[in-house]
Amino acid sequence: MERALGHVLSFTVDLLLLTTLKTTAVDAHFQALKAAGRVTKVFIDWHSYSQLILAPWSYSSAAELPAESENQLAAAAAMAAAMNSTNSVAGGYIHGPSARLLYEASGASNDYGFASTPAATYTYVVELRDTGEYGFVLPADQILPSGEESYDGVIALLDYVINNDYD
């Protein structure tokens, strides 16, 4: 799992400080939604690579999981099951609380999406294909299958949210 470390650290530092143009723009977008009275339910930060669906918390493996964790993890399981079955990708997609599954990283986007401006219940960092053979340089013939399974994963996630989180 160390193979993703450099990448994870670069975005965690960005989000912690909100200093770069990209993270400032993302935060401004969610501030505007909030000001307009819009509720953000799902927040996903897509990355490569490692085939992981990472829920809060990222900052600590010892911190008590949020009350919403049960729903977050059940939705992540539905997403992982769908992403596993679409193309039966080698290794599958593993889900869990980020710091417990991977390592602690403060200021990560899944924590930001949950505990900061977006205040979404369902917030994840999804690490796409692969598990390290090609890493960041995924062969072109895996791009479409990666998109297919991601699409199916999002549909399964939204199904979970619609069926479990709305009256």
Ligand X SMILES: *[C@@H]1O[C@H](CO)[C@@H](O)[C@H](O)[C@H]1NC(C)=O
User: For residues 57 and 97, is the Cβ–Cβ distance under 8 A?
Assistant: yes
Query: Quick one: 87 or 116, whose CB is closer to ligand X?
Result: 87
How many other CB atoms are found less than 10 A from the CB of residue 17?
11
Nearest distance from C-beta of residue 145 to ligand X, angstroms: 15
Could you confirm whether 148 is annotated as catalytic? Answer: no
User: For residues 104 and 58, is the Cβ–Cβ distance under 8 A?
Assistant: yes
Q: Which of 68, 127, 133, 149 is catalytic?
A: 127
Q: Contact region for ligand X (CB under 6 A) — 54-62, 87-95, 120-128, 140-148?
A: 87-95
Cα(102)–Cα(1) distance, integer angstroms: 7
Cα(17)–Cα(4) distance, integer angstroms: 21
Nearest distance from C-beta of residue 72 to ligand X, angstroms: 14
Pick one of 8, 42, 54, 80: the residue that binds ligand X (CB under 6 A): 80
The type of residue at 156 is: A
Catalytic residue positions, numbered: 127
Chain residues that interact with ligand X, rule: CB under 6 A: 77, 80-81, 84, 91-94
